[in-house]
């Protein structure tokens, strides 16, 4: 699986931007391709980019390669009154680096490159918060598969359509930190399912069934539904939260976690975290292998 977009697994950066676009002019495929190729020209060697495509755009650019599970995200309604909205876009860029100015330069370059064919749906900047913590104060991404195990979790397997590519899910969450921070640390830990200072997973009777860890640590037919998370915190005086990003070999791995969070499984249990954080966007896309991307943009 050496053909994947290398930036998917880059863990060395500390400043980020995600910008999602909707296509406004579908009339000329070659113009679309040229605009995206221009957008992918790096303004600095010190930044990296992951590009991914919604179903309609990918099938427009490369109709010969149709990953079997690629789909648009649909709004999810939970049994217990929670919901997750769909804000499906067409074109997604994740820009990463260690210099805010350079990430911004690339973000602006991308926007200008596609301005004649696409408009910005959402653009969010993020950062590493302290020692890789969410703004709730808990370490984020502790359950990521380690070392070589991340590749089969995140990438479509060799021999399958779209091999070396990845199904990507973007979802912006807004935290109610004032409400969460009113709680004693012991209660917060029950909500998350980990200790706050050192991120040790709770065990046995100490682990509630409705903790975030319990709801997202999913198995199906005995197989752990592992995904590769690349989420980042964002925040300012007005709004604070987490921009959730995941890469998976099959979007079912994300679907089952979302259903478990919403309480849409047989046990009917929802994730406690949804009392303190609200999903406000949601979209699936496909991050093709370098080879498939090159073919698509020819």
140 a catalytic residue: yes
Asked whether the predicted pLDDT for residue 2 surpasses 80, the reply is no
Checking DSSP bridges between strand 232-235 and strand 118-127, what pairing results, if any?
unpaired
Percent with pLDDT over 70 in the chain:
99
pLDDT tens sequence across 227-253:
999 999 999 999 999 999 999 999 999
For the beta carbon of residue 257, count every other beta carbon within 10 angstroms.
Answer: 20
Asked if residue 276 is part of any domain, the answer here is: yes
Asked if residue 186 is part of any domain, the answer here is: yes
Burial tier of 184 (Cβ tally within 10 Å: 0-12, 13-18, 19+):
exposed
pLDDT, residue 142, reads 86
Q: Mean pLDDT in the chain?
A: 97
- Mean per-residue pLDDT, 265-292: 97
pLDDT tens sequence across 165-199:
999 999 999 999 999 999 999 999 999 999 999 99
Asked if residue 112 is part of any domain, the answer here is: yes
Domain with 127, as residue range(s), is 6-296
Q: Whole-angstrom Cα distance, residue 247 to residue 9?
A: 10
Q: Are 209 and 270 in contact (CB under 8 A)?
A: no
Asked if residue 1 is part of any domain, the answer here is: no
Mutual angle of helices 100-114 and 29-39, in 10-degree steps: 170
pLDDT tens sequence across 46-105:
999 999 999 999 999 999 999 999 999 999 999 889 999 999 999 999 999 999 999 999
pLDDT tens sequence across 27-38:
999 999 999 999
- Mean per-residue pLDDT, 99-128: 98
- Mean per-residue pLDDT, 35-44: 98
Asked if residue 42 is part of any domain, the answer here is: yes
Q: Write down the residue that tokens 């909707």 correspond to.
A: 22
CA 12 to chain centre: 17
Among residues 48, 90, 140, 210, which one is catalytic?
A: 140
pLDDT, residue 49, reads 98
pLDDT, residue 167, reads 98
Tokens of 140: 């984020």
SS3 of 74, please? Answer: coil
Residue 126: which CATH number? 3.30.70.1030
* Closest alpha carbon to 168 in 54, 37, 289: 54
Asked whether the predicted pLDDT for residue 141 surpasses 90, the reply is no
**Number of domains present in the structure of the chain:** 1
Asked whether the predicted pLDDT for residue 15 surpasses 80, the reply is yes
């Amino acid at each position: 699986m050496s053909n994947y977009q290398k930036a998917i697994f880059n863990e060395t950066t500390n400043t980020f931007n995600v910008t999602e676009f909707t296509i406004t002019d579908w009339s000329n495929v070659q113009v679309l391709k040229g605009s995206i190729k221009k957008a992918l020209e790096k303004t600095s060697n010190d930044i990296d980019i992951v590009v991914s495509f919604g179903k309609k755009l990918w099938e427009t650019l490369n109709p010969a390669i149709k990953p079997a599970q690629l789909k648009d995200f649909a709004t999810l309604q939970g049994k217990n009154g929670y919901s997750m909205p769909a804000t499906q876009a067409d074109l997604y860029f994740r820009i990463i680096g260690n210099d805010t100015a350079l990430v911004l330069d690339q973000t602006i370059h991308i926007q200008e490159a596609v301005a004649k064919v696409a408009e910005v749906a959402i653009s969010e900047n993020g950062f590493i918060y302290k020692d890789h913590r969410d703004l709730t104060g808990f370490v984020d991404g502790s359950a990521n598969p380690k070392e070589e195990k991340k590749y089969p979790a995140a990438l479509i397997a060799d021999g399958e359509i779209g091999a070396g590519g990845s199904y990507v899910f973007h979802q912006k969450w807004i935290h109610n930190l004032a409400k969460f921070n009113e709680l004693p640390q012991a209660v917060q830990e029950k909500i998350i399912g980990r200790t706050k200072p050192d991120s040790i997973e709770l065990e046995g009777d100490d682990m509630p069934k409705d903790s975030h860890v319990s709801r997202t640590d999913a198995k199906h037919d005995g197989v752990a539904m592992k995904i590769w998370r690349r989420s980042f915190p964002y925040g300012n005086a007005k709004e604070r939260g987490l921009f959730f990003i995941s890469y998976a070999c099959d979007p079912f791995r994300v679907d089952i976690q979302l259903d478990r969070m919403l309480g849409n499984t047989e046990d009917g249990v929802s994730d406690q975290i949804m009392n303190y954080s609200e999903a406000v966007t949601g979209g699936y896309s496909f991050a093709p292998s370098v080879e498939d991307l090159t073919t698509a943009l020819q």
